[in-house]
Amino acid sequence: MDALALEAKVAKSESAIAPAPAPAKPRPKPPKTTKRIVYFEVEILDIKTREKLLLLDKVEPTATILDIKSMFHKSNPHWYPARQSLRLDPKGKPLRDEEILQELPVGTTATFYFRDLGAQISWGTVFLIECIGPLVIYLLFYFRLPLIYTPKYEFTASKHLVVHIACVCHSFHYMKRIVETLFVHRLSHSTMPLCNIFKNCSYHWCFAAWMAYYINHPLYTPSYYGEKQVKAALALFLFCQLGSFSIHMALRNLKLPSCKIKKIPYPTKNPFTWIFALVSCPNYTYELGSWLGFTLMTQCVPVLFFTVVGFIQMTVWSKGKHRSYLKEFKEYPTLRSPILPFIL
């Protein structure tokens, strides 16, 4: 019995000393399957001749229209992205730079129609040239530089107070526009055709010279109703200038620099923006009011003509913007008019 007990005790101690079995090795994880990317083939044709200009192979589906323009630019350096217009249909609308290839109504083989927009110039440069020109030209007539009027009136000052007020108002208007161009405006399109600068500048510069010649003329006669008419017109001009600046600030705050999403403009706490409840483009409404005030102040036919021509052009622009709002936003307020509340 003692021998059996001793054997059992030895076996037990040996089993306690024996090493524990090694843990089972973890099963290797199956390799991750990479997501298969479906690349696009992009074909670019001339919009007029239908000639194949470029074939891009293996274009990533997340590529934007701007990316495709950049690829096209590499093979055709003289067609930089700003002067390119790409469309899905020859008669369709140009595609926006931020549109993504895979979100367009195309298959894996996409065909784009290219149109050359011509040499481009930045909108900011155009606005600055447009505004600096009238500002300088008007002052040349105001100070009556030589070769403008008869020699005896060179560098003389007008005896009418309204002439000096008109000069301040005209200069203030274009200085405001320069400041807005540099620090306020956020434009949807960064460039415009270079040839347009001659048309735009001719319009603004020639009208500025025509108005300034008669307002600062030595034989100029002031407003029919005198001081009362000038004060009322000045109040209208300043009111509309403040309104125009307020609208531009509201539109700036509506569109962040890095955001391409368009939003409906609504009235803010600023009373000058409350007109948004009735008008789609109140910046044009205030612009019209400013020039109406300037027309009443100076009682000058060239100013009236400039106001009428400007009103016609701004009406065309505002109607186009109004139609764009109605098409893009289903919830767009139907009470609004393009430029004049309940009228136009």
Q: For 33-63, write each residue's pLDDT tens digit.
A: 556 778 899 999 999 999 999 999 889 989 9
pLDDT at 70 over 50: yes
Question: In this structure, is residue 313 part of a structural domain?
Answer: yes
The dihedrals phi and psi of 197, each to the nearest 5 degrees, come to -65, -35
pLDDT at 96 over 90: no
Calculate mean pLDDT across residues 230-257.
92
Question: In this structure, is residue 294 part of a structural domain?
Answer: yes
CA 158 vs CA 163, 221, 257: distances in Å: 7, 11, 47
Calculate mean pLDDT across residues 118-135.
90
Q: Pick the last residue of a domain from 82, 117, 152.
A: 117
* 211, 136, 124, 79 alpha-carbon torsion, rounded to 10°: 90
Q: Pick the last residue of a domain from 117, 133, 148.
A: 117
- Asked if residue 214 and residue 126 are part of one domain, the reply reads yes
- Asked if residue 81 and residue 94 are part of one domain, the reply reads yes
Question: In this structure, is residue 154 part of a structural domain?
Answer: yes
Q: What is the pLDDT of residue 6?
A: 47
- Asked if residue 55 and residue 163 are part of one domain, the reply reads no
Mean pLDDT for all residues in the chain: 88
- Asked if residue 156 and residue 108 are part of one domain, the reply reads no
Q: Pick the last residue of a domain from 63, 89, 117.
A: 117
Rg (CA), the chain: 35
Q: What is the pLDDT of residue 30?
A: 64
Question: In this structure, is residue 47 part of a structural domain?
Answer: yes
Tokens of 299: 């009682």
pLDDT-based confidence at 98, cuts 50/70/90? confident
**Which residue did the predictor score with more confidence, 15 or 88?**
88
Q: What is the pLDDT of residue 10?
A: 46
- Distance from C-alpha of 327 to C-alpha of 306, rounded to nearest angstrom: 32
Calculate mean pLDDT across residues 135-141.
97
* Beta strand segments in 159-256, E: 191-193
Enumerate residues 6+ apart whose C-beta is below 8 A from 298: 162, 166, 211, 215, 223
Q: What is the pLDDT of residue 113?
A: 95
Tokens of 71: 């690829």
pLDDT at 250 over 90: yes
- Asked if residue 106 and residue 132 are part of one domain, the reply reads no
Question: In this structure, is residue 262 part of a structural domain?
Answer: yes
Question: In this structure, is residue 58 part of a structural domain?
Answer: yes
- Asked if residue 125 and residue 108 are part of one domain, the reply reads no
Q: Are 82 and 120 in contact (CB under 8 A)?
A: yes
Question: In this structure, is residue 27 part of a structural domain?
Answer: no
- Asked if residue 127 and residue 216 are part of one domain, the reply reads yes
- Asked if residue 234 and residue 343 are part of one domain, the reply reads yes
Tokens 């100076």, located at residue: 298
Question: In this structure, is residue 291 part of a structural domain?
Answer: yes
Which residues in 165-196 are b (16+ Cβ under 10 Å) and which e?
A: bbbebbbebbebbeebbeeeeeeeeebbeeee
CA 42 vs CA 11, 80, 117: distances in Å: 81, 18, 21
Q: What percent of the chain has pLDDT over 90?
A: 66
- Asked if residue 146 and residue 243 are part of one domain, the reply reads no
- Sign of the C-alpha dihedral, residues 210, 216, 221, 225? positive
Helix (H, G, I), strand (E, B) or coil at 161: helix
Q: Are 87 and 94 in contact (CB under 8 A)?
A: yes
Per the structure, the complete domain to which residue 193 belongs is given by: 119-222
CATH number, position 81: 3.10.20.90
Domain count, the chain: 3
pTM of the shown model: 0.80
pLDDT-based confidence at 257, cuts 50/70/90? low
Among the residue ranges 79-93, 181-195, 317-331, the one predicted with the least confidence is 181-195
Q: At 116, which helix (H) or strand (E)?
A: strand 109-116
* Single-letter amino acid, residue 239: F
- Asked if residue 194 and residue 153 are part of one domain, the reply reads yes
Pairing mode of beta strands 40-46, 109-116 = parallel
- Distance from C-alpha of 19 to C-alpha of 342, rounded to nearest angstrom: 95
* 339, 98, 327, 190 alpha-carbon torsion, rounded to 10°: 20
- Asked if residue 312 and residue 242 are part of one domain, the reply reads yes
Calculate mean pLDDT across residues 295-318.
96
- Asked if residue 108 and residue 124 are part of one domain, the reply reads no
